[in-house]
Amino acid sequence: MFLRQIYDESLAQFAYLIGCQRTGQALVIDPERDIDRYHRLAADNDLTITAVAETHIHADFVSGAAEFATDPDIHLYLSAEGGDDWSYQWTGDRPHVHLLRHGDEFKVGNIRIQAIHSPGHTPEHLAYLITDLGGGADQPVALASGDFLFVGDVGRPDLLETAAGVTDTMEPAARRLQASLVERLGDLPEFLQVLPGHGAGSACGKALGAVPTSVLGYEQRFNQALRLANHDPEDFVRDILTGQPEPPLYFGRMKQVNRDGIRVTGGVSLPPRLATRQLKPWIDDPDTVVIDTRAERAEFAAGHLPGALHCPYPGPFFLAGAGSYVAPEQRILLLTEDPAEVEAMTRQLYRIGLDHVVGYATVADLKAAGLLAQPTRRIDFEQWQADGGGTAAAADGDLILDVRNATEFDAGHLEGAVNIAYTRLKARLDEVPRDRRLLVHCGTGRRASLATAFLLREGFDAVHIDGVCSECDRIAEGKGLTH
């Protein structure tokens, strides 16, 4: 049996290529939308992809299932356990799409895959037990656990409410998740490998480990959420619903397109490099968004194109920012310091359904042309505190906008501050006053840079407060809390 974990660092997402080396057939579990890389990996290992399986309707990326479905020789295995609201709508009557229920099995070569209904993170969620029959095994070697069980954590049960807007679902989902963890994992062997759907850095959990795989016996002993599920159901429900980070705004749209369907493209289209003389029509177009990917926020603040968003690349803020501020129908112009990174940027945007990248330009070209002339007002946090006599406070008429997560805000915040997480700003703009100057801060200045650029694009009067919020840290430490 061949097993390869495929990691997308930008989304902290794991897909899996599992192959029968005797027959040359292979299965991909939870592929992202740019499926050419899975075909290449299979071919490099003398395998052909003949099957694709999904653990659930994903919230954090566009699934590659619909792209694979255009090939009638590839069989798709999807969940039939979601009820009326969370059943796949895009599949139609394709004969090579198979809808699975708990206990159903299929084979890829000499490998047996059994579906395990594991609701809680989502109603339709399946995990997959994998048994290497060709190697003589009569017990499974691994569990592809999706967003059911992670290394060090379990899937969050609140996303249907917090991301997709389905009200009053969090607590019932948490109770279903607790029951699933006990009922579905209790009889499985301790030696079973756990192949999770995400690693550290994903917004699909709050305490995911940075170790890529684990074994069930270890998780039963040392995974705090799993231990609570097994021994204290009420504490589990309270704990799993506490402290979850606000999801990026695009999560709700991903749930919809992965259930109902999205345009099948056949692959990523790489954008052309644009000379400075070609930029003006795009810059002047209100439906085109400039995404400035410079890593250094001080350089962005010193001068950028008017209305540009700041989504630094590489790192988690690139997709979190673009996915929270850019609509899928908008055109995108990328601004980069390194043209070699454009393909990776475009692929990442494609993975969250942002398809319309019309071109890119370089920072060097725009600087030489004198086009990076729009500064952002930026105040260093320490200087702001010094000017306020040791306290960071708003002047008359100003509003402090804290764009950290709610858990950070609750641990300690500046007096009079209003909290809206930077990933949720677009959905809550009606709560932000347009007749007051906004002093925008976070914990270190990174998230505030993204939020300030977005607010300025939307016509607000915003100032970026950069640096560490030492007062927030001091208040949190006084409460005995950390964040």
Q: What is the pLDDT of residues 166-207, one digit of tens each?
A: 999 999 999 999 999 999 999 999 999 999 999 998 988 888
- Does residue 31 have a cis bond before it (omega within 30 degrees)? no
Among residues 60, 56, 245, the alpha carbon closest in space to that of 147 is found at 56
Domains and CATH numbers, the chain: 2-260 (3.60.15.10), 276-368 (3.40.250.10), 378-478 (3.40.250.10)
Q: Give mean pLDDT, residues 244-248.
A: 93
State how far the Cα of 412 lies from the Cα of 469, in Å rounded to an integer. Answer: 10
Calculate what percentage of the chain has a pLDDT beyond 70. Answer: 100
Q: How far is residue 366's CA from residue 343's CA, in Å, rounded to a whole number?
A: 20
Q: Which two tokens stand for residue 56?
A: 């659930």
Distance (Å, whole) CA 143 – CA 16: 11
Is residue 102 within 8 Å of 129, Cβ to Cβ? no
Task: Residue count of the chain, please give it.
Answer: 483
Global confidence as pTM: 0.96
Residue-wise pLDDT for 433-469, tens only, equals 999 999 999 999 999 999 999 999 999 999 999 999 9
Q: What are the beta bridge partners of residue 380?
A: 466
Q: What is the pLDDT of residue 238?
A: 97
CA-only gyration radius of the chain, Å:
24
Task: Give the chain as a 3 state SS string.
Answer: CEEEEEEECCCCEEEEEEEECCCCEEEEECCECCCHHHHHHHHHCCCEEEEEECCCCCCCCCECHHHHCCCCCCEEEEECCCCCCCCCCCCCCCCCEEEECCCCEEEECCEEEEEEECCCCCCCCEEEEEEEHHHCCCCCCEEEEECCECCCCECCCCHHHHCCCCCCCHHHHHHHHHHHHHHHHCCCCCCCEEEECECCCCCCCCCCCCCCCEEHHHHHHHCHHHHHHHHCHHHHHHHHCCCCCCCCCHHHHHHHHHHHCCCCCCCCCCCCECCHHHCHHHHHCCCEEEEECCCCHHHHHHCECCCCEECCCCCHHHHHHHHHHCCCCCEEEEEECCHHHHHHHHHHHHHCCCCCEEEEEEHHHHHHCCCCCECCCEEEHHHHHHHCCCCCCCCCCCEEEECCCHHHHHHCCCCCCEECCHHHCHHHHHHCCCCCCEEEECCCCHHHHHHHHHHHHCCCCEEEEECCCHHHHHHHHHCCCCC
Average pLDDT over residues 335-355: 98
Burial class (CB in 10 A: 0-12, 13-18, 19+), 1: buried
- What is the reported pLDDT for 206? 87
pLDDT at residue number 389: 77
Question: How many C-beta neighbours within 10 Å does residue 111 have?
Answer: 28
Determine the pLDDT at residue 408: 94
Mean pLDDT for the stretch of residues 296-314: 97
Mean pLDDT of the chain: 96
Residue pair 192/216 in contact by the 8 Å Cβ criterion:
yes
Using pLDDT thresholds of 50, 70 and 90, give the confidence band for residue 228: very high
Contact 59, 254 (CB under 8 A): yes
Q: Over 80: is that where the pLDDT of 108 sits?
A: yes
Q: In this predicted model, what pLDDT tens digit does every residue of 70-85 receive, in sequence order?
A: 999 999 999 999 999 9
pLDDT at res. 258: 98
Average pLDDT estimate for 228-236 = 98
Distances (CA, A) of 309 to 12, 227, 275, 326: 23, 43, 20, 9
- Confidence band (pLDDT; 50, 70, 90) for 388? confident
What pLDDT does 205 receive? 85
**Inter-CA distances, 433 with 287, 307, 436, Å:** 24, 19, 6
Residue 39 pLDDT > 80, yes or no? Answer: yes
Give me the mean pLDDT over the 237-261 stretch. 96
Q: Which amino acid is at 95?
A: P
Q: Name residue 138's amino acid.
A: D
358 band by pLDDT with thresholds 50, 70 and 90:
very high
pLDDT over threshold 90, residue 481:
no
Going by pLDDT thresholds of 50, 70 and 90, the confidence category of residue 477 is confident
User: Do residues 121 and 177 make contact, with C-beta atoms less than 8 angstroms apart?
Assistant: yes
Give the pLDDT confidence score for residue 482 in this predicted structure: 59
Note the pLDDT of residue 386. 79
